[in-house]
Amino acid sequence: MRLLTREALLSFRRAPLLSALSITTIAFSLFTLGLFGLVAINLRKALLGLEERVEIVAFVLRGTPAETITLATQDIAAFPEVQDVAFVTEQQALARARKELVEFRDAYRDLQANPLPASIEVQLKEGYRDARTVELVAERLRGFGFVDDVRFGREWVQRLDQLRNVTGLVGLVIGLAFAAVAIVIIGVTIRLTLLQRAREISIMRLVGATNWFIRGPFLLEGALKGLLGGLLSLVLCYAGYVLFRDRTGGSFSDLIFFRPEHMVLLIIFGVALGLAGSLVSVGRHLRHV
Amino acid sequence: MIRFSHVYKSYPNGALALKDVSFRVGKGEFVFLTGHSGAGKSTIMKLLFAELRPSGGEVRVSGYDVTELKVEEIPRLRRRLGIVFQDFRLLEDRTAAENIAFALEVTGARHDTIAARVMRVLTQVGLSAKSQAYPRELSGGEQQRVAIARALVNDPAILVADEPTGNLDERATRGVFQLLRDINAGGTVIVMATHDLDLVRQTPYRTIELREGAVVFDSAVDEADAVGTS
């Protein structure tokens, strides 16, 4: 173990420039990946904000007894998709209209009778705010005899669905592409180290070193470079995040940064990339000498 | 210790490097392999430490069948051999002692025994005073002595030396050769490829001469035959 660590560290000391180059390339690959991740989590947060506005409104026929509505709201609240149910009486609807629709305030004041119907407003749980589920719940609400009409922003919910699918797909593709690029870059830098040390490896083999013994220091070196690259990329991401948040003059002040588990994941990913890169190039090199 | 039986070796480009080569080397022997460049000396050397595999026939070295040897077993075979090259193959950024210690570390030797074992072989090759010197600070003859010390440190049964004096002047050659003779006197089998015929003629050791991949002379066989027919 001591020998393994010594040999791995020795390569940093012997080729500081090459090691620095590897670490920086890993850091920048992960940085691009990280920036993309930041965009993705913030986009996701924004989408969640939009999703919260998905609401189904069931208008209630005039004259429906209060007990019927109370029982129905209890039933609706028990739907597995439903997060929240609220009953809005005719008076509450009018009060809200007076408050929110300022332009029509005069018209509402002069009314002899309240034209607005009572309604049941239904909010769905996270994960159920897609077009299909919304349709399904709306259909179930229509089944109640006292429900006159059910409204929800059909097009709006469908758009949200598309947006979600597209961002997910684009995220996956770009993420995979960056990961592949990072693996190739790490592989190339490790390969450079290997070529630089080809003579040493051939001597190791001649004196009876096993392939795993030869691989060990290179794998550790790759993992270490991945670790350092991962840490550096986090620093870069944080700097980029702060700079963007502060320079945009408050319009993006509620942007979020990675949670600790995301950071650990990014670093683990860096280590995995480093290991993968060195495993591939060492394996190939050992087959060829 | 070594047995070649009807060994053939052809390279992917079709060139036949060895043709029906057979010989045996017993305990304690010192054997010269001679012949012009391209005669097949290096191919035999590489077969001895399983850098190459025979295309036909059988090669046995120190109990290992090189023909059938699994890749994982190659290091075990090499740990029973000492290998010395014309170009020394020392690590330039390590001292003489570190170069030798490296060969022990690679085989997983106990850490607390390494320094003493390194010093013992350095003394054996007459370089105990230069243990901390880097290869560039040593003469060619001294570098080859370090390489021989590295080959000896695992107490090999067989020492394989491919043109060990090829890069040395006459004085250094004599010194290195005397060292190999001393090592052989201690019981280690030595197989030495060389095209230095003067060196070969001065000594009573067995000589196997190769020409175009075939054995054309083996003093052990031919002289016995000569004795038998006279």
Q: Which of A107-111, B26-30, B59-63, B83-87 has the lowest mean pLDDT?
A: A107-111
Tell me the chain B residues in contact with residue A5 when contact means C-beta distances shorter than 8 Å.
Answer: none
Q: How many CA atoms lie within 13 A of B13 on its CB side?
A: 2
> Are A254 and A191 in contact, with CB atoms under 8 Å apart?
no
pLDDT for A154: 72
Asked if B91 lies within 8 A of A200 by C-beta distance, the reply is yes
> Are A171 and A36 in contact, with CB atoms under 8 Å apart?
yes
Per-residue confidence band for B126, with pLDDT thresholds at 50, 70 and 90 = very high
Tens-digit pLDDT profile for residues A61-115: 888 888 888 888 888 888 888 888 988 888 888 888 878 777 777 776 777 777 8
Tell me the chain B residues in contact with residue A217 when contact means C-beta distances shorter than 8 Å.
Answer: none
Tens-digit pLDDT profile for residues A32-73: 888 888 887 888 788 777 777 788 898 988 888 888 888 888
Does the pLDDT at position A289 exceed 60?
A: no
Does the pLDDT at position B158 exceed 60?
A: yes
**Helix axes of A2-14 and A16-51: crossing angle, nearest 10 degrees:** 100
Q: How far is B70 from chain A (nearest CA, A)?
A: 12
pLDDT for B8: 96
More confident residue, A49 or A232: A232
Q: Is the dihedral of CA A223, A224, A225, A230 positive or negative?
A: positive
Residue of A nearest to B160 (CA): A206
Q: How far apart are CA B219 and CA B210, in angstroms?
A: 12
pLDDT for A27: 87
Asked if A209 lies within 8 A of B154 by C-beta distance, the reply is no
Nearest to B106 among A2, A199, A208 (CB): A208
Residues 6+ apart with CB under 8 A from A196: A15, A18
> Are A239 and A149 in contact, with CB atoms under 8 Å apart?
no
Question: Contacts from B197-200 at CB under 8 Å and sequence distance 24+?
Answer: B197/B34, B199/B165, B199/B173, B200/B32, B200/B34
Give the start-end residues of each E strand in B173-221. 189-193, 206-211, 214-218
Asked if B78 lies within 8 A of A211 by C-beta distance, the reply is no
Task: Give, for A143, the enclosing helix (H) or strand (E).
Answer: none
Question: Contacts from A217-221 at CB under 8 Å and sequence distance 24+?
Answer: A217/A4, A217/A7, A217/A8, A217/A10, A217/A11, A218/A8, A218/A190, A218/A193, A218/A194, A218/A278, A218/A282, A219/A275, A219/A278, A219/A279, A219/A282, A220/A4, A220/A5, A220/A8, A221/A8, A221/A11, A221/A12, A221/A190, A221/A193, A221/A278
First to last CA, chain B: 30
Q: Average pLDDT for residues A138-142, to the nearest whole number?
A: 88
**CA B207 to chain CA centroid, nearest Å:** 14
Asked if B107 lies within 8 A of A14 by C-beta distance, the reply is no
pLDDT for B127: 93
What token pair was written down for A27? 């850091």
**Residue of B46, B91, B106, B162 to mutate for A, most A C-beta atoms under 10 A:** B106
Q: Which of A114, A128, A129, A107 lies closest to A53 in space, CA to CA?
A: A129
Tens-digit pLDDT profile for residues A266-287: 899 889 888 887 887 777 777 6
More confident residue, B57 or A32: B57
Give the start-end residues of each E strand in A50-111. 55-60, 82-88
Q: How far apart are CA A1 and CA A205, in angstroms?
A: 19
> Are B215 and B21 in contact, with CB atoms under 8 Å apart?
yes
Q: How far apart are CA A136 and CA A122, in angstroms?
A: 13
Asked if B89 lies within 8 A of A3 by C-beta distance, the reply is no
Mean pLDDT score of chain B, rounded to an integer?
Answer: 91
Per-residue confidence band for B142, with pLDDT thresholds at 50, 70 and 90 = very high
Asked if A2 lies within 8 A of B49 by C-beta distance, the reply is no
Per-residue confidence band for A288, with pLDDT thresholds at 50, 70 and 90 = low
Amino acid in the structure at residue A49: G
Residue of B nearest to A11 (CA): B93
Does the pLDDT at position A1 exceed 80?
A: no
Helix (H, G, I), strand (E, B) or coil at B57: strand
pLDDT for A287: 67
Tens-digit pLDDT profile for residues A177-224: 877 777 777 777 777 777 877 888 888 888 888 888 888 888 888 888
